[in-house]
Chains A and B, each alone.
Chain A
Amino acid sequence: MLITSLIANLSIGAVDIEINEIISILKKSIGVTQGSSALTPNDVVLTSIRIPRILMGVIVGGSLAVCGCCLQALFRNPLADPGLIGVSAGASLGAVIGIYFNTFLIKISSIQASLIISFLAFIFGITISLLIFKISTKDGKPSVAKMLLCGIAANSLVGAIIAFFTYMSSDSKLRSIAMWGMGNLGESTWEKILICSLVCITCCFMLAKQAKLLNIFLLGESEAFNLGIKIEKLKKKIIIFTSLCVAVCVSFVGPIGFIGLVVPHAVRILIGPNLKSLIPFCFILGSILLTSADLVSRTISIPSEIPIGIITSIIGAPVFVYLLIREQDRVFQ
């Protein structure tokens, strides 16, 4: 399914490219075959736009799903998602501040401005989640329930600050803020992909290493402690790696809802709650969902694009409700 989705993403768009041509462009770009050195428009579309965009979709979709899956295990709640630990709200605030003060970023290219906005989003995302972590920690022990409540409070406070900036913004900035808030894979560049893949893949790998311990954590904190798990260390690891991963994702592509909530849920219903298999499957399904949503967002109203956040919510919400109704007895025992 992932491969089909990737091929469809490479081939379909404002300009349709035949599969044979895709293969020859790919061969040419990695130097397997010699061709004319001049770049055709399709070369540029594929190597500078579609491939970075697809790779970003794979990394971000997979990472958000893995983080959602681990946070649901940490909070031991099927309704937890990356938004709960305040990292998405913090990143949104950083981005909004970046967009609002964009005119002060004197004479820099749009790519640099976009990187600065991403950097601000990352810093704010991490700061807010660390702040929540700090407030919820007493005597070195993070309280998961307190963290959940602090996350809700932070989301509300940050929402108000964003609303204030939105209210104060000019029409053009208002549009930029609104567009950023709906998520966009269109500004993916190779530099961003490099940073994003390094951080996210490392974090996902570290989270996957905790799968066995997280499984036992799901028995309950007392049971996990009695079975020799260092609970506080485990909680800290999960919070740090998910915050870092989500902050990077949100800072580069904006907040994308539902992937972190729906994907773990759907995969859990299909293969059960064991995180050893749940984490890799979440990565794959998250990637499929986000790249497919991106394909829809690019092609549904050519030549314009619908923001990907709208598509993930339109697909995600009904699927989520369907799964809840189908599995309510099993999930909410």
Chain B
Amino acid sequence: MTYKATNISFSYAGKKILNKASLEIQPGEIVTILGPNGCGKTTLIKILSAETKPDSGDVHIEDKKINKIKSAELAKMRSVVSQKTNMSFGFPVKEVVEMGMNPYDQKTTKESSSKIRKILEEYELEKFKNKNYLQLSAGEQQRVNIARSIVQLNQADTNQAKYLLMDEPTSSLDIHFQVKLAKNLKQLSNKNVGIGLVLHDINMALSISDRIVLFSSKKTVEFLEKPFWEKLPVSLSMLEQAFKSKFEVIRNQEKVFVTPSFKDVRS
């Protein structure tokens, strides 16, 4: 019962983007992908979501090959928050969020309306609900996209395995909404939703993840397992290699924080 990518290789314009990368997300697990720019994180999310076909390797959900699953069925099993949206013609916020119901082909019911209202409240979008999406700030648009993807998951049958893939969902969010999203993701994982996240914030990854997958620019993939506070000092060299930067580790009881070293900048 997993979301599994095995030995994924992918090249673009003659450049190897992914080299036999593998990843597994269990139901209820939060797996975060960390790595430098251009290492293939977004490509992996696109391959996991079936939007992009890999050159070699397979993706399975619940032992079914992803390209054998009908697109409408797939949309009930996983929802995706892309790094950026490319909307043309601005729809009102509420209509964009309601589009999350598309895979279910059902008319708006009291129950679905109340779910949508809750999500709009959760992400503080009530006051914008009739506003043109294109007139919102980048952060507000990101909240709308997150809300839409959660509506897509919430409509699904509770017995069905559900997965959420998010590519840099916090890139435009302020601290308040980053914390809100982190809480929300924990709640979803407690409801057995498997979550695959691409983040640049190492500390958020350490706080919410069950596992961290570290991509390096040399196309190698390493795994950081829990408890991070114990294992991170050992894995620090991996992080430093991946990001070509020095890090400092701050430990506070059972918590661990990582910060890039700005020593050179200060001097």
Contacts and interface: CB of A to CB of B under 8 A. Distances in A.
B93 interface: no
A272 interface: yes
A170 interface: no
A223 B91 CA distance: 14
Interface in A30-77: 73, 76-77
Interface string B37-63: 000000000100111000000000000
Contacts, number: 80
A218 interface: yes
B90 A333 contact: yes
Interface string A205-244: 0000000100110111111011111100000000000000
A268 B88 CA distance: 12
A220 B87 contact: yes
Given A226-B49, A273-B89, A333 B75 contact: no
B88 A226 contact: no
B99 interface: yes
B82 interface: yes
B220 interface: no
A333 B132 CA distance: 10
B163 to A, nearest CB: 12
A226 B80 contact: yes
Given A228-B72, A229-B102, A219 B87 contact: yes
Given A226-B49, A226-B51, A226-B79, A215 B91 contact: yes
A29 interface: no
B51 to A, nearest CB: 5
A270 to B, nearest CB: 14
B92 A226 contact: no
Interface string B76-90: 100110100111111
Given A230-B71, A274-B91, A223 B103 contact: no
Contacts of A220: 82, 85-87
User: Chain A binding site: helix, strand, loop or mixed by DSSP?
Assistant: loop
Contacts of B100: 227
A229 B152 CA distance: 13
A274 B75 contact: no
B236 interface: no
A220 B87 CA distance: 5
Given A218-B87, A229-B71, A230-B71, A274 B99 contact: no
B135 interface: yes
B95 A274 contact: yes
B208 interface: no
A219 B88 CA distance: 7
A125 B163 CA distance: 46
A186 interface: no
B75 A228 contact: yes
Given A216-B102, A226-B75, A333 B135 contact: yes
Nearest to A212: B102
A78 interface: yes
A138 interface: no
Interface string B234-262: 00000000000000000000000000000
Contacts of A330: 90, 132, 134-135
Nearest to B74: A228
Contacts of A73: 89
Nearest to B50: A225
A212 B103 CA distance: 12
A215 B80 contact: no
Nearest to A231: B71
A220 B134 CA distance: 13
A227 B82 contact: no
A228 B91 contact: no
B96 interface: yes
Given A222-B51, A222-B82, A330-B132, A227 B89 contact: no
7 contacts: A215-B99, A222-B46, A222-B82, A230-B71, A273-B90, A333-B90, A333-B134
What are the 4 closest A-B residue pairs judged by CB atoms, nearest first? Answer: A228-B75, A220-B86, A76-B88, A273-B89
Given A73-B89, A223-B87, 11 more contacts: A76-B88, A77-B88, A78-B88, A219-B85, A222-B86, A225-B71, A226-B79, A227-B102, A272-B92, A273-B91, A330-B90
Interface of A: 73, 76-78, 212, 215-216, 218-223, 225-230, 268, 272-274, 330, 333
